[in-house]
Structure 1
């Protein structure tokens, strides 16, 4: 059987998916580039002063952007080498990182890398809403290794995440337009991650009600969603 280039469709090829890409490794590959972006921005001036490759840059966000792009490529390459699959959402985000990161470095304008989260968040929201329109809960590509939900559970979780992506896009627009580069970077990495974990925590009651590991009698009690 020919293996897919991308992550398996939710509920399919589960044994291969879980064996080749453990959840902890998947999370590391998804979050690692953001952590590198945050750390590189913090030490950005040092990089400009001590690394000849970055000596022509004027702001810490520029070497941070360059290292962010390298980290994204490395993350996608690692996922392919270790699992022979590409993580779907990091791939989509990575394409935008490379496009807007290249524009940022070429024009020396941080605006391009700042609007990237807005565009990717809106794109993810549209993809999720579009999937629901065609009765596909695409969020399963991201969380299928972490949760085992029934069809209604995936539908609800996908719908809520789509609106959450729109929320992240709106907040990003407010932050980058009104605050400094350093504040935006800290927010993009730290606050967005905190928001995501808080949001996910609020979804746990619904996730538990729709978990396939729950007895059927427990799921019948879900009439409040």
Structure 2
């Protein structure tokens, strides 16, 4: 099934809106506590409880509009529900903070497994958006696997050694900026191994 085209502004709102709302809600509620059924929850756990349904609705809306969800979107949703749910159930924010680590380790592992088999799983999911020669895909996949590993290490270091405020800023701004910077840094690779698909 081909993916339906969606207004770029709407796509951006659905992809990044939940993260922005998480940051805004945390900013306003981080110093508050909430009593639910006799249990006291921190502002962070309360915001996590709000974030999960928002992400679920945004993901469902994306699927409804485009008729397609990437494997990354599905895995992210499952892990958010899983680790966010654990944070709420055990009233422990550490589970949710571990979630990015698990995501990046999973993606790095999948890419590394494909490379050991002589394949680029990245090519399978991004070929239409980023046409490259096979050698280019293999190089990009190796670099991205290492990048994901570095992000996993960075997430672990920040949530374990720094404040919750620092971690929220890292998750909201640092991760997207780092990802954007990584792909911008690959401009030379894209130019060298890019394919011309205009010819039919």
Q: TM-score range by the shorter chain?
A: 0.7 to 0.9
Instruction: Measure, in 2, the Cα distance between the counterparts of 1:139 and 1:24.
Output: 25
Instruction: Measure, in 1, the Cα distance between the counterparts of 2:152 and 2:6.
Output: 29
**Residue 42 of structure 2: SS of its match in structure 1?**
coil
Unmatched 5+ stretches in structure 2: none
Q: Deviations over 1:87-133 (max 9, x none)?
A: 21011011111011011011110010011111111011001111222
Unmatched 5+ stretches in structure 1: 4-15, 216-225
Instruction: Measure, in 2, the Cα distance between the counterparts of 1:188 and 1:198.
Output: 15
Instruction: Measure, in 1, the Cα distance between the counterparts of 2:13 and 2:177.
Output: 16
Aligned with residue 207 of structure 1, among 190, 197, 200: 190
Aligned with residue 19 of structure 2, among 34, 40, 50: 34
Range with bigger deviation, 65-74 or 117-126: 65-74
Q: Which residue is 1:72 aligned to?
A: 55
Deviation at 1:34, TM superposition (A): 2.0
Structure 2 CA distance for partners of 1:168 and 1:34, relative to 1, 3 Å: same
Q: Which residue is 2:121 aligned to?
A: 138
How many residues are aligned here? 198
Instruction: Measure, in 1, the Cα distance between the counterparts of 2:175 and 2:79.
Output: 18
CA contact (8 A) 1:30 1:90 kept: no
| TM-score of the superposed pair, with normalisation by structure 2 | 0.85
Q: Which residue is 1:102 aligned to?
A: 85
Structure 2 CA distance for partners of 1:25 and 1:213, relative to 1, 3 Å: farther
The answer on 1:20 being equivalent to 2:5 is yes
Q: Deviations over 1:48-102 (max 9, x none)?
A: 67xx98x965322112212221122112211221122222101101111101101
CA contact (8 A) 1:42 1:60 kept: no
CA contact (8 A) 1:23 1:146 kept: no
The answer on 1:172 being equivalent to 2:155 is yes
Structure 2 CA distance for partners of 1:127 and 1:164, relative to 1, 3 Å: same
CA contact (8 A) 1:208 1:214 kept: no
Structure 1 runs of 4+ aligned residues shifted over 6 Å read none
Q: Which residue is 1:13 aligned to?
A: none
Range with bigger deviation, 116-125 or 138-147: 138-147
RMSD (CA atoms): 2.8
